[in-house]
């Protein structure tokens, strides 16, 4: 089953760029990537550009409305994701725990819908 591991962080809680802490964090991300690849579960994963690049869209009364930025009103921002293909939620949580941002943010683990099942 495929799960998306959504990485949410509060920029105020993240390590500052140019510090030893950010170097350690990035090393942790590289290690998580390598572990997921070695275990054969990594399907995809990327970081996202900053929220200042986001545009949200919704349709109201048949008309598309767009707005700058993310729609959610929260301190935490979606900063990236992984997609893993594992046997169950417990396995997905094991890989989510490898993501360094879990130490200062939140990793949301959600199963993907399968609209095209094999067979």
Residue 87 or residue 104, greater confidence:
87
Does the structure show a pLDDT above 80 at 78?
yes
Q: pTM for the full model? A: 0.85
Q: Which domain holds residue 107?
A: 2-111
117 within a domain of the structure (yes/no): no
Does the structure show a pLDDT above 90 at 80?
yes
Mean pLDDT of 43-70: 87
44 within a domain of the structure (yes/no): yes
Q: What is the pLDDT of residues 7-42, one digit of tens each?
A: 999 888 889 989 999 999 999 999 999 999 999 999
Which CATH number goes with the domain that contains 49? Answer: 3.30.70.1060
Three-class SS state of 2: strand
Three-class SS state of 25: helix
Q: What gap in Å lies between CA 111 and CA 5, rounded to an integer?
A: 9
77 within a domain of the structure (yes/no): yes
In the structure encoding, which two tokens stand for residue 88, read together?
A: 């169950």
Residue 29 has what pLDDT?
Answer: 95
116 within a domain of the structure (yes/no): no
Percent of the chain with pLDDT over 90: 66
118 within a domain of the structure (yes/no): no
Q: How far is Cα of residue 55 from the mean position of the Cα atoms in its chain?
A: 18
């Amino acid at each position: 089953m495929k799960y998306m591991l959504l990485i949410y962080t509060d920029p105020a809680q993240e390590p500052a760029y140019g510090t030893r802490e950010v170097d350690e964090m990035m090393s942790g991300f590289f290690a998580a990537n390598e572990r997921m690849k070695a275990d054969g579960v990594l399907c995809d994963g990327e970081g996202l550009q900053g929220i200042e690049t986001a545009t949200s869209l919704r349709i109201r009364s048949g008309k598309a409305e767009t707005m700058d930025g993310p729609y959610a009103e929260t301190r935490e921002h979606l900063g990236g994701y992984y997609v893993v293909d594992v046997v169950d939620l417990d396995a997905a949580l094991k890989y989510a725990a490898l993501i360094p941002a879990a130490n200062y943010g939140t990793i949301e683990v959600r199963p993907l819908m399968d609209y095209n099942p094999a067979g």
